[in-house]
Amino acid sequence: MGTAEPVTPVGQAAEGELRIGWAARSMPVLAGIAERFARERPLDGLRIAACLHVTAETAVLLQVLREGGAEIALAASNPLSTQDDVAAALRERGIAVHARAGADLQTYYRHIHQALDIAPHLVLDDGCDLVNVLHTERVELLGDVVGGCEETTTGIIRLRQMAAEGALRFPVVAVNDTRTKRMVDNRYGTGQSTLDGIIRATNLLLAGRVVVVAGFGFCGRGVADRARGLGARVIVTEVDPVKALEAALQGYQVEPMSRAAELGDVFITVTGNRDVIRAEHFAVMKDGAVLANAGHFDVEIDVRALRELASAVRHGVRPNTDEYVLPDGRRLLLLAEGRVVNLTAAEGHPAAVMDISFSAHALAAAWLVTEGRGLPPGVHDLPSAIDAEIARLELAAAGVTIDTLTPDQERYLRSWRLGS
Amino acid sequence: MGTAEPVTPVGQAAEGELRIGWAARSMPVLAGIAERFARERPLDGLRIAACLHVTAETAVLLQVLREGGAEIALAASNPLSTQDDVAAALRERGIAVHARAGADLQTYYRHIHQALDIAPHLVLDDGCDLVNVLHTERVELLGDVVGGCEETTTGIIRLRQMAAEGALRFPVVAVNDTRTKRMVDNRYGTGQSTLDGIIRATNLLLAGRVVVVAGFGFCGRGVADRARGLGARVIVTEVDPVKALEAALQGYQVEPMSRAAELGDVFITVTGNRDVIRAEHFAVMKDGAVLANAGHFDVEIDVRALRELASAVRHGVRPNTDEYVLPDGRRLLLLAEGRVVNLTAAEGHPAAVMDISFSAHALAAAWLVTEGRGLPPGVHDLPSAIDAEIARLELAAAGVTIDTLTPDQERYLRSWRLGS
Amino acid sequence: MGTAEPVTPVGQAAEGELRIGWAARSMPVLAGIAERFARERPLDGLRIAACLHVTAETAVLLQVLREGGAEIALAASNPLSTQDDVAAALRERGIAVHARAGADLQTYYRHIHQALDIAPHLVLDDGCDLVNVLHTERVELLGDVVGGCEETTTGIIRLRQMAAEGALRFPVVAVNDTRTKRMVDNRYGTGQSTLDGIIRATNLLLAGRVVVVAGFGFCGRGVADRARGLGARVIVTEVDPVKALEAALQGYQVEPMSRAAELGDVFITVTGNRDVIRAEHFAVMKDGAVLANAGHFDVEIDVRALRELASAVRHGVRPNTDEYVLPDGRRLLLLAEGRVVNLTAAEGHPAAVMDISFSAHALAAAWLVTEGRGLPPGVHDLPSAIDAEIARLELAAAGVTIDTLTPDQERYLRSWRLGS
Amino acid sequence: MGTAEPVTPVGQAAEGELRIGWAARSMPVLAGIAERFARERPLDGLRIAACLHVTAETAVLLQVLREGGAEIALAASNPLSTQDDVAAALRERGIAVHARAGADLQTYYRHIHQALDIAPHLVLDDGCDLVNVLHTERVELLGDVVGGCEETTTGIIRLRQMAAEGALRFPVVAVNDTRTKRMVDNRYGTGQSTLDGIIRATNLLLAGRVVVVAGFGFCGRGVADRARGLGARVIVTEVDPVKALEAALQGYQVEPMSRAAELGDVFITVTGNRDVIRAEHFAVMKDGAVLANAGHFDVEIDVRALRELASAVRHGVRPNTDEYVLPDGRRLLLLAEGRVVNLTAAEGHPAAVMDISFSAHALAAAWLVTEGRGLPPGVHDLPSAIDAEIARLELAAAGVTIDTLTPDQERYLRSWRLGS
């Protein structure tokens, strides 16, 4: 099974290998798992279809899965994030990669179909598009599938909805919901890389700016913390009163978007919902306001409404920055066309972040092989022991030692009869 | 049913009323619930036995339960925290209070028995001592009990252990595990009041001090954040690798206690476990090190070992501060005898914190009345809708407005078929 | 020269000694200086009149000056902060103390006169009242005076004004302006103790509250940092655009008081100016707003206007808390009668803070003895070498090691001819 | 007077104009000054030689000076930071630009000479190289010079040394020492852009990493705050005990470099001194340690020693990242060859930062024209009224309002006779 893309020059593959090598240095947990997989071959003879961002870190994961014995086909989960040099390097290594930077929507879905052609036993997804295609257009392949892993919050929402409607046909591990992944990826990874993307795109000084963060989930709180850490005054918007209360207790100003729109210098959406910033908000924003989306899909800022409102659009006033001029002269700056700004304007998560997330994928894949047949269709948590193992490996790699319980302490925690 | 304590002078009750009145001002959520309870009388004819800290905030809760129609008997969950003036005021109001500041262990358990004499339909507990007595020494009363609420992490651990052993006989709502309670009480309440207790006891300048926080659960992270917020350099110890990793990712130094013991100026235990600081640690501490416990029970610092090691003890070198002189001349300062420092050396949680926590008790009690008979014995979560309602009331009291989903947004969240 | 106050019971002096002993433990820098003074006797035969807060830390300073050979008379710089037990202990030690907690204004000035009766060679002042009396009512004593030290920002402002008008007759070292003092005392000391005072007075949960800090000088920034560190959302008011800009760049919301008054839950004045919060501001505040002053004088909140506006005043609703009920029913809570809240409602600066500040006094006094006759009247900085020495001693006491320049590095810093 | 560089293609100039236009948007203070200068022409007929980073922001400054009537020649203060497209655009505008990205040392000095050929009345310098050449090799031009401005800490150190030796021949305004400049540029600008440079070069996740900041001056504290704000655990090294104490009081761990070298994951030098990290430190660093310099000159990391120690060097393992492999296999990563990382690996200060700094240059130039002849040679502060004006303009541009003193308050501040 070959790739549909034209042959890639050697030079590009070499550049891709350089990137992959760099990423691998910051992925010590996955390196440890690779050693174990090479020894134990837990994925021997299995076929995996993956729909993931085609980046150097993904390449490191795929290599680990191959060490474990798997055959792999890869499609891109977002055409804008595809690193063509990495794709080239992977092809040279013999992995079927169906992806090209900037592919259009039709090509995007064609690539997913091509990845599914491998007739997978396991699927790795990032946003649920591959699982969706599998359940709607490639149902003939469902029989072989033992289980899957899903990377994103958005994907989990869609999968739970499928499960609630009885449409999901195999068990999926919510890699996104593991404690380590949530913590490292959603919070610290998205936090740093989102601000990184905004700074690369605009070179704005954030100290003293009013940054509006829409959404205070794991990702939103990471973004808010980093914006504050860079000296910004942060305003949070939310629809969930519990999250809104937490934001307030952390000293953030909480406002509805209708009010925040008047106050913000920079807006960052990270809600998992659509139209979080829309026409009524553009109408009251300050001249020069910057709009960025850190959510998975490009629906959080209503770009269509912005385009309709604007009397002129200047593309590329900075890299990844378009300027929308409103009839009254105010200029709004849309980053990355409203697509996920950390992947488009920066380099996505640092490799150290993906090390955690992809270690969960690798261990979840091995776990599904032994346990998957016994699991009902639906969204499943990764066993917490696997989660703890990832954290333990990560701490060890950083040279951090922690305490262990003494026998007395273990006994104490087990006993409920001891009182005041 | 009367109180076993001697009649209290009027003056003390008046002081108690002053305290209760002050607390009530910072408890707007409970005030709203009181209005509803007075109207709907959800607890009409029910008897409640409560084992809670006898403080002004508890008094406000009990009043709300009475507005709802309940008859109440109260014992103290910790003799050191009992505010005798509040107890006096409650007795004047006609509530049976079995508590006295500084009561010994025997009296403590006698008070619990006296509270149970009410033959409760509902029990409110803080640490599981009342529920434990009920299941071991007062089993004849179990038949009437519809359900209970538990306030603390420690209590939940004991209840889950009871449930796992099949010993728990009625449903208990883990008030401690509600999102709002965890957030406001464990994290922000314990955080502020623990540091408050340490400062009142020692008047140390925390800026530049090395503060060791043992345990990075909800409470521990609150304590760590506040210590950092006061300018301390914080070192965290943990036994759970996932929590240890989170501490590291927030920029805290993570060390085993054996190493932290050498570095710390102030030690705060908040683990829920015993002997977290013990002889081997005292042996290497700096002269002047301060030892404080913020966990529920006074077992986290091994005070017995400290006493055995010391060549001299000077009590009360500062309020709530005892000095243990070691044979080599080093002096260690133990606060509040190793008991929970925020209650002993400060005033415990601010009323605003207890407003959240006690609102969950009040709403959980009402919910148990309608739903309790249908619930199996075991530890149950408070329905998240009740949780959200508490957050909503709290935000409203603070004048904070949040967003609501548009119909399009609700539809979007429900739909999983929309893709990239 | 004896004290005018009645004989103090032994018990009180003993309690004062306990306090002084505790303070001395946190004052390692002064302890080092004491050793040197005992050896070198730099103040032999000199008389010192001091007008300082009569606290345990001051007692440690006076003891050091005595070790250096001085005879001392002490008056209180603020009657509300006088610790009578410390005064008693000092008298037992043979120091003339003219101070009593809660003395009225007439007594306050009588005490200053009594301290001046010593006919000082050196004066130590905290707010410039003693120096002012000396220049206006006791000019006959000016001939003997070699120089003085001033502790506060407020005092420095008054002294510079005197100098500008040609009224100041001897050199005064601006202890307040030393880098170490500014840093440790104004910023970290005032920051922690101000919030401590507010929490002790109100037991409010600060997380999520809007705290308005009026003034962003060294003290104000310390207060703002600590309020933020406790989870508050901080709004800063300023009259100086440079300071206002700095506040904004640190992510604080900056507003004029007219707007902040509507938003705040807690107000803290720390400007050195009068009427910072006045009738027009009380008029728009929220019900339950808390008013505290952290500036030297009780003029920053216009208490007279508040009293005139109020339809009722309830004193002592909490310790150090009075409630002013406005005609429309709103209740404003004034802490410590508008006097400096960290001294009145808490214990003032931690001893570690005063260690820095009082070390500067001690070293400045010794320096004035050798250099004072050669200095013109006016406000003088402490030589930076003395300042650095204090920091070095403090770091050493905390076990912190720092780098030293290599010879190459010293050479490099001296040379300007080396280019790109 | 023409440029010595080859003619630049139009396309490059157009790209430069785009950059300049973007920068101008974030420079509202300079825009206001431009209007005033166009009206008042304070620099009419004057010649200015500038040695500054050739960037878009500099272009905006030069345009303002031209609006004021000046003729200008520009050399680069650092060949690595020259934006050739901006140089091209400036040349099209008719400004003599002597600069080219990547010019060697000989060319660098030739460019400075060419800029001096204009026979300046005023000089603007960034690092003191132009002033140095003027005083050593072009003394014939000194007669016309009215004064100068210096941008950097490093330059000020050199100028003060020159002044101390009697070598400086005209007054220089220490633009670097203005309060607004120090604050915005040294602290917030350097802070953000240094971390930005490191992230762009390495894509490391900083949360949980140990970042060693050498130097805790204005720049160093900005770098430390931003590193902490990104979740790093920060260790500070210093030679000045006062600065070291301040770092400790802000909760930073303070260590000598010999110890920090063992602990750090990332090292950032910002001291203004040489050999801050040298052979003895490389010897103990962890595998993978990252070395970056944020100081003006590339002398802070002893790159020569690193080169001599290494058994192999791999250039460009990431953009601006070279890997030095030590004989024992450890790999150290040197960013930007040890040159200033925020200019080399990122885009230098955001335009908003330079707006403050360059507004001081513009107003200082105008002030020198009217006051310069009356000033003695030496380093002079910018009058604080000009400083305050810049802050006021900046706040106004951000829509921030501040308080003004009432007449009573002004009177109070002037009076020293009011006491307690």
Per-residue pLDDT of chain B (420 residues; tens, 9 = 90+): 334 444 444 688 999 998 899 899 889 999 999 999 999 999 999 999 999 999 999 999 999 999 999 999 999 998 888 999 999 999 999 999 999 998 999 999 999 999 999 999 999 999 999 999 999 999 999 999 999 999 988 899 899 999 999 999 999 999 878 889 888 888 899 999 999 999 999 999 999 999 999 999 999 999 999 999 999 999 999 999 999 999 999 999 999 999 999 999 999 999 989 999 999 999 999 999 999 999 988 999 999 999 999 999 999 888 899 999 999 999 999 999 999 999 889 988 888 888 998 999 999 999 999 998 899 999 999 999 999 999 999 999 999 999 999 999 999 888 754 443
Please report, for chain D, how many H helices and E strands are present, in that order: 18, 15
Secondary structure of residue A299 in the 3-state scheme: coil
Asked whether residue C262 is marked as a ligand-binding residue, the answer is no
By C-alpha distance, which of B71, B43, B12 is closest to B367?
B43
Of C233, C245, C250, the CB nearest to A251: C233
Any C CB within 8 A of D125 CB: no
Residue recorded with tokens 């003693």: C130
Q: How far apart are CA A78 and CA A343, in angstroms?
A: 9
Which chain D residues contact residue B234 at CB under 8 A?
Answer: 251
What gap in Å lies between CA C195 and CA A360, rounded to an integer?
44
Q: For chain A, list the domains and their CATH numbers.
A: 12-181+348-397 (3.40.50.1480), 186-344 (3.40.50.720)
The pair of structure tokens assigned to B12 is 């003390």
Rounded to 5 degrees, φ, ψ at D47 are -105, 135
Q: Which residue of A has its CA nearest to B214?
A: A403
Q: What's the average pLDDT block by block, 10 residues per block, for chain D (420 residues)?
A: 45 90 91 94 97 95 97 92 94 94 94 97 96 97 96 89 94 90 88 97 95 96 97 97 96 97 98 96 97 94 98 92 96 96 89 91 95 93 92 92 93 65
Q: Point out which residues pair with D105 in neighbouring strands.
A: none
CA closest to D272 among chain C residues: C413
pLDDT 10s digits, C253-284: 999 999 999 999 999 999 989 999 999 999 99
Assigned token pair, B367:
């919910």
Q: Is B241 on the interface with D (CB under 8 A)?
A: no
Contact B85, B13 (CB under 8 A): yes
**Chain D partners within 8 Å of C412 (Cβ):** 273-274, 299
Give the CA count within 13 Å in the CB-facing half-sphere of D64: 28
CA distance C23 to chain B (A): 9
Q: What is the predicted pLDDT for the residue at C10? A: 60
CA distance C394 to chain D (A): 8
Residue-wise DSSP of D279-294: HHHHTTPPTT-EEEE-
Least Cα distance to B269 among B331, B369, B198 occurs for B198
Chains touching C (3+ CB pairs < 8 Å):
A, B, D
Distance from CA of C194 to the nearest CA of A (A): 19
Q: Do B253 and D253 touch (CB under 8 A)?
A: yes
Q: Say if residue B272 carries a ligand binding annotation.
A: no
Q: Burial code of D124-134, b = ≥16 C-beta within 10 A, e = fewer?
A: bbbbbbbbbbb
Closest of C218, C228, C238 to residue C195, by C-alpha: C228
Tens place of pLDDT per residue across chain C (420 aa):
334 444 444 688 999 998 899 899 889 999 999 999 999 999 999 999 999 999 999 999 999 999 999 999 999 998 888 999 999 999 999 999 999 998 999 999 999 999 999 999 999 999 999 999 999 999 999 999 999 999 988 899 899 999 999 999 999 999 878 889 888 888 999 999 999 999 999 999 999 999 999 999 999 999 999 999 999 999 999 999 999 999 999 999 999 999 999 999 999 999 989 999 999 999 999 999 999 999 988 999 999 999 999 999 999 888 899 999 999 999 999 999 999 999 889 988 888 888 998 999 999 999 999 998 899 999 999 999 999 999 999 999 999 999 999 999 999 888 754 443
CA D207 to chain centre: 27
- d(CA C198, CA C294) in angstroms, rounded, equals 10
Q: Are D150 and D254 in contact (CB under 8 A)?
A: no
- pLDDT, residue A10, reads 60
Query: How far is the C-alpha of C357 from the C-alpha of C151, rounded, in Å?
Result: 8
Residue where the block lists tokens 């901006």: D86
pTM, whole model, 2 decimals?
0.90
Question: Is the CB of residue A186 less than 8 Å from the CB of residue A160?
Answer: no
Please name the residues between 172 and 231 in chain B that touch chain D, using a CB distance below 8 Å. 207-208, 228, 231
Q: Helix, strand or coil for residue C232?
A: coil
Closest CA to D420 of B137, B234, C127: C127
Residue B8's SS3 state is coil
B219 is in an annotated binding site: yes
Coil, helix or strand for D348? Answer: coil
Distance CA B389, CA B380 (A): 18
Please indicate whether, in this complex, the C-beta atoms of A318 and D352 are within 8 angstroms of each other.
no
- Give the residue from chain B lying closest to D246, CA to CA: B208
Which residues in chain A have their CB less than 8 angstroms from residue B415's CB?
A: 161
Q: Are C201 and C335 in contact (CB under 8 A)?
A: yes
Matching residue, tokens 């396991």: A122
Question: Which amino acid is located at A237 in the chain?
Answer: T
**B237 SS3 class:** strand
How do D321-325 and C171-174 pair as beta strands?
Answer: unpaired
Q: For residue C211, give the chain A residue with the closest CA.
A: A251
Q: Two tokens at B127? A: 């640490």
**A245 vs B157, B180, B414: nearest CB:** B180
Q: Do A249 and C231 touch (CB under 8 A)?
A: yes
pLDDT tens digit at each of 420 positions of chain A: 334 444 444 688 999 998 899 899 889 999 999 999 999 999 999 999 999 999 999 999 999 999 999 999 999 998 888 999 999 999 999 999 999 998 999 999 999 999 999 999 999 999 999 999 999 999 999 999 999 999 988 899 899 999 999 999 999 999 878 889 888 888 999 999 999 999 999 999 999 999 999 999 999 999 999 999 999 999 999 999 999 999 999 999 999 999 999 999 999 999 989 999 999 999 999 999 999 999 988 999 999 999 999 999 999 888 899 999 999 999 999 999 999 999 889 988 888 888 998 999 999 999 999 998 899 999 999 999 999 999 999 999 999 999 999 999 999 888 754 443
In sequence order, the β-bridge partners of residue C293 are C269, C340
Reading phi first (left if > 0) and then psi (alpha if -120 to 50, else beta), residue D106 is in: alpha
Whether D251 has its CB under 8 Å from any CB of chain B: the answer is: yes
Q: What is the DSSP string of D102-128?
A: T--HHHHHHHHHHHHTT--SEEEESSS
Closest CA to D23 of D357, D306, D340, D287: D357
Do residue D196 and residue A192 have CB atoms under 8 angstroms apart? no
CB C157 within 8 A of CB C135: no
- In chain B, what are the helix, strand and coil shares in percent, each to the nearest 5? 50, 15, 35
Dist. CA A314–CA C112, nearest whole Å: 73
β-pair partners for D282 = none
Q: What is the secondary structure of A362-394 as a DSSP string?
A: HHHHHHHHHHGGGSPSEEEPPPHHHHHHHHHHH
Rounded to an integer, what distance in angstroms lies between the CA atom of residue C213 and that of residue C269?
Answer: 6
Q: What pLDDT score does C3 carry?
A: 42
Mutate to test the interface with C, among D136, D252, D403 (most CBs of C within 10 A): D403
Neighbours of D270 (CB within 10 A): 32
Residue type, C119: A
Sign of CA dihedral D181, D186, D188, D190: positive
C185 is in an annotated binding site: yes
- Strands (DSSP E) along B263-381, which ranges? 266-269, 290-293, 312-318, 321-325, 331-335, 378-380
- At residue A43, φ and ψ (nearest 5 deg) are -110, 20
Would an 8 Å CB–CB cutoff place A374 in contact with chain C?
Answer: no
This model of the complex carries an ipTM of 0.87
Tokens representing B336 are 């509040």
Inter-chain touch B403–A162, beta carbons under 8 Å: no
| Cα–Cα dist A127/A151, whole Å | 7
Cα atoms in the Cβ-side hemisphere of radius 13 Å centred on B140? 6
pLDDT value at residue A349: 83
How many CA within 13 A on the CB side of residue B69?
15
Residue D419 has a pLDDT of: 44
Which chain B positions have a beta carbon within 8 Å of D252's beta carbon?
233
Total CB pairs under 8 A between chain B and C: 88
Find the length of chain B: 420
